[in-house]
Amino acid sequence: MSRDARYDILFEPVKIGPVTAKNRFFQVPHCTGMGSNWPLSHAAFRRQRAEGGWAVICTEETMIHPTSDAYPGASMRLWDDDDVKTFALAADAVHEHGSLFGVELVHGGLSRANRTSRMTPVAPSHTANKYPTRPQARGMDKADIKEFRRWHRDAALRAKKAGTDVVYVYAAHNIALPMHFLLPRYNRRNDEYGGKLENRVRLLREVLEDTHEAVGDTCAVALRFAVDECMGADGLEWDKEGREVVEMLADVPDLWDVNVSGWEYDSNTSRFSEEGYQEPYIAFVKQLTSKPVVGVGRYTSPDAMVAAIKKGVMDFIGAARPAIADPFLPKKIEEGRIDDIRECIGCNICVTGNNTFAPMRCTQNPVVGEEWRRGWHAERIGPTGSDDQVLIVGGGPAGLEAARALGQRGYAVTLAEREKELGGRLNWETSLPGLAAWARVRDWRLGQIGTMANVQVYLDSFLDDNAIRQFGAAHVVLATGATWRRDGVGHSHHHALPGAGRSGVIGPEDVARGHVGEGPVIVYDDDQMYLGGVLAEKLARDGRDVTLVTPGSDVSAFTILTLEQPFVQQRLRELGVTILQQTDLVAVHDGEAELACVFTRATRRVPAATIVLVTSRVPNEAIYHKLARRPDLLDAAGIKTVGIIGDCVAPGLIAAAVHDGHLYARELDAPPPENPDVPFLREHMDLREERESV
292 and 427 belong to one structural domain? no
**Residues 183 and 288 both lie in one domain:** yes
Rounded Cα–Cα distance for residues 47 and 57 (Å): 9
Which candidate, 253, 161, 156, 159, places its Cα nearest to that of 201?
253
Whether 692 has a pLDDT exceeding 80, the answer reads no
Give the pLDDT mean for 517-540.
97
Assess whether 90 and 204 both reside in one domain: yes
The total number of structural domains that make up the chain? 3
- Judged by average pLDDT, the poorest of 130-139, 397-406, 453-462, 517-526 is 130-139
In a domain, 29, yes or no: yes
Q: What is the CATH number of the domain that holds 629?
A: 3.40.50.720
Asked if 412 and 439 sit in the same domain, the reply is yes
* Cα angle for residues 238, 269, 299 (degrees, 5° grid): 75
Alpha carbon distance 371, 651 (integer Å)? 25
**Is residue 675 domain-resident?**
no
**Average pLDDT over all residues of the chain:** 96
Q: At residue 687, does pLDDT exceed 80?
A: no
What is the C-alpha separation between 316 and 293, in angstroms, rounded?
6
Q: Encode pLDDT of 539-593 as tens digits.
A: 999 999 999 999 999 999 999 999 999 999 999 999 999 999 999 999 999 999 9
Which is catalytic among the residues 69, 210, 254, 266? 266
Q: Is the pLDDT of residue 5 over 70?
A: yes
Does the structure show a pLDDT above 90 at 1?
A: no
Per-residue pLDDT of 345-358, as tens digits, reads 999 999 999 899 89
- Pairing between strand 293-295 and 100-106? unpaired
Instruction: Tell me, yes or no, whether 685 lies in a domain.
Output: no
Catalytic residue (one of 58, 107, 170, 180): 170
* pLDDT of res. 549: 98
Based on the fold, state whether residues 582 and 559 are members of the same structural domain: yes
Structural domain span for residue 583 = 486-617
**pLDDT tens, 184-199?**
999 999 999 999 999 9
Pick the catalytic residue: 173, 475, 493, 662? 173
166 or 133, higher pLDDT: 166
- Do both 464 and 326 map to the same domain? no
Task: Kindly report, residue by residue over 388-443, the tens digit of the pLDDT.
Answer: 999 999 999 999 999 999 999 999 999 999 999 999 999 999 999 999 999 999 99
In this prediction, residues 604-618 reach a mean pLDDT of 97
Q: CA–CA separation, 301 vs 330, rounded Å?
A: 11
Do the domain assignments include residue 295?
yes
Do 405 and 464 have their domain in common? Answer: yes
584 shares a domain with 456: no
3-state secondary structure of 282: helix
Phi, psi of 600 (to 5 degrees): -90, -20
Instruction: Assess if residue 99 is contained within a domain.
Output: yes
Domain-embedded: residue 564: yes
Q: Do 634 and 593 lie in a common domain?
A: no
Using the 8-state DSSP alphabet, how is residue 183 labeled? -
Q: 301-308 — which CB contacts under 8 Å span 24+ positions?
A: 301/275, 302/4, 302/6, 302/7, 302/10, 302/333, 302/338, 303/6, 304/275, 304/276, 305/7, 305/10, 305/24, 306/6, 306/7, 306/9, 306/10, 308/276, 308/279
- Say whether both 35 and 146 belong to one domain: yes
Average pLDDT over residues 442-450: 98
Measured between alpha carbons, how far is 629 from 632 in angstroms, rounded to an integer?
9
pLDDT at residue 130, as a whole number: 78
412 close to 406: Cβ distance less than 8 angstroms: no
Q: In the annotation, is 173 catalytic?
A: yes
pLDDT tens for each residue of 470-526: 999 999 999 999 999 999 999 999 999 999 999 999 999 999 999 999 999 999 999
Give yes or no for a contact between 658 and 367, defined as CB atoms under 8 angstroms apart: no
Residues 428 and 419: their CA atoms lie apart, in Å, by 12
Q: Are residues 157 and 268 in the same domain?
A: yes
Pairing of strands 389-393, 475-478: parallel
Give the burial class of 577: count Cβ atoms within 10 A of its Cβ; 0-12 exposed, 13-18 middle, 19 or more buried: buried
In this structure, the answer to whether residues 336 and 414 fall within a common structural domain is no
* pLDDT per position as a tens digit, 41-79: 999 999 999 999 999 999 999 999 999 998 888 899 999
- Our answer to whether residue 266 is catalytic in this structure is yes
Identify the domain boundary among 311, 339, 355: 355
Catalytic: 170?
Answer: yes
Q: What pLDDT band is residue 454 in, cutting at 50, 70 and 90? A: very high
Q: Hey, CA dihedral for 689, 690, 693, 694, is it positive or negative? A: negative
Give me the torsion for CA of 87, 89, 90, 95, rounded to 10°: 120
pLDDT band at 135 (very low <50, low <70, confident <90, very high): confident
pLDDT of residue 92: 97
Nearest to 390 by CA among 216, 641, 52, 648: 641
Q: What is the pLDDT of residue 565?
A: 97
Within a domain: residue 377? Answer: no
Q: By C-alpha distance, which of 370, 436, 360 is closest to 405?
A: 370
The reply to whether 557 falls in a domain is yes
pLDDT in tens, 285-324: 999 999 999 999 999 999 999 999 999 999 999 999 999 9
Rounded Cα distance between 185 and 12, Å, is: 42
